Structure 1
Amino acid sequence: MSQESDEVREAIAGELRLMDPSVRSSRSLVRQLLDPDFTEVGASGRRWTYDEMLAAMPEMDGAAESGPRYEPSTFTGVLLAPGLVHLTYETTLEGNRARRSSLWRKQGTATMWQMYYHQATPIPPGSK
């Protein structure tokens, strides 16, 4: 069940910004959106740290203005606790689909939500 609170809407906005090629190609903009304790398990199964993601993001899929872009759909979100939002959604990139899950947190006096954890799971062709 989705709770469309301001917190959930802000986390979704952050997620969408991270899919924007102008953000993906800028380490300084990505740095604003990723929590310093960030970890990701990508669709490939690779585990990424904050530093690894900052270094690699400008070269990853979806970072070139003229290249393929992520097409997100079916966002749902829940405020798990004050300062912690869980999002789930799907993406398509060049015909490849993935189910995604992210945790966004906002700590102390922070003004922005930051992605703390992200996981992508490939959806086999023909699956619903």
Structure 2
Amino acid sequence: MSQGSDEVREAIAGEKRLMDPDVRTSRSLAGQLLDPEFVEVGASGRRWTYDDMLAALPELDGAVEGGPRYEPTEITGVLLAPGLVHLTYETVVDGRRARRSSLWRRQDANTPWRMYYHQATPVPADSM
């Protein structure tokens, strides 16, 4: 399954919610979308854990209403296995491009989809 599956659509919706300033500034809302075992390797190369991200998210890009916001493009996804979706896309925030990859997982049918892993790779300005 890919693009059109309910699982992929739900993961994409969660990914977009994490870019919303209201979610980024709310530890409670962001915590509902991040898996307790969440890990990120950011565009800076920094490794983030669940607790690190929840603490820093309100101060990171995209958290201020009226400020720079993430502009995602070409989000695609594939269901890798039951309960595991892989998304890829690009973002631009404040003129900086990054290629992004996320794994979303759902433990069972009674739990929500949550971001389990995220990687951001900066795109050089002269790259297509």
TM-score by length of structure 1 reads: 0.96
- 2:18 alignment counterpart: 18
Looking at structure 2, the residues matched to 82 and 3 of structure 1 have their Cα atoms a distance apart, in angstroms, of 15
State the secondary structure of the residue aligned to 1:110.
Answer: coil
TM-score by length of structure 2 reads: 0.96
- Detail structure 1 runs of 4+ shifted over 6 Å in the superposition: none
C-alpha displacement of 1:109: 4.2
| Mapping of residues 9-48 of structure 1, within 5 Å | 9-48=9-48
| Contact in 1 for aligned 2:3/2:9 (Cα 8 Å) | no
- 2:110 alignment counterpart: 110
State the secondary structure of the residue aligned to 1:98.
Answer: strand
Amino acid paired to 1:87:
L
Q: Deviations over 1:21-46 (max 9, x none)?
A: 00000000000000000000000000
State the secondary structure of the residue aligned to 2:53.
Answer: helix
| Contact in 1 for aligned 2:25/2:63 (Cα 8 Å) | yes
Figure out how many residues of one structure are paired with residues of the other and give that number: 128
| Contact in 1 for aligned 2:101/2:119 (Cα 8 Å) | yes
- 2:127 alignment counterpart: 127
Looking at structure 2, the residues matched to 74 and 57 of structure 1 have their Cα atoms a distance apart, in angstroms, of 24
5+ residue gaps, structure 1: none
Q: Deviations over 1:37-82 (max 9, x none)?
A: 0000000000000000010001111001121100000111000000
Identity %: 77
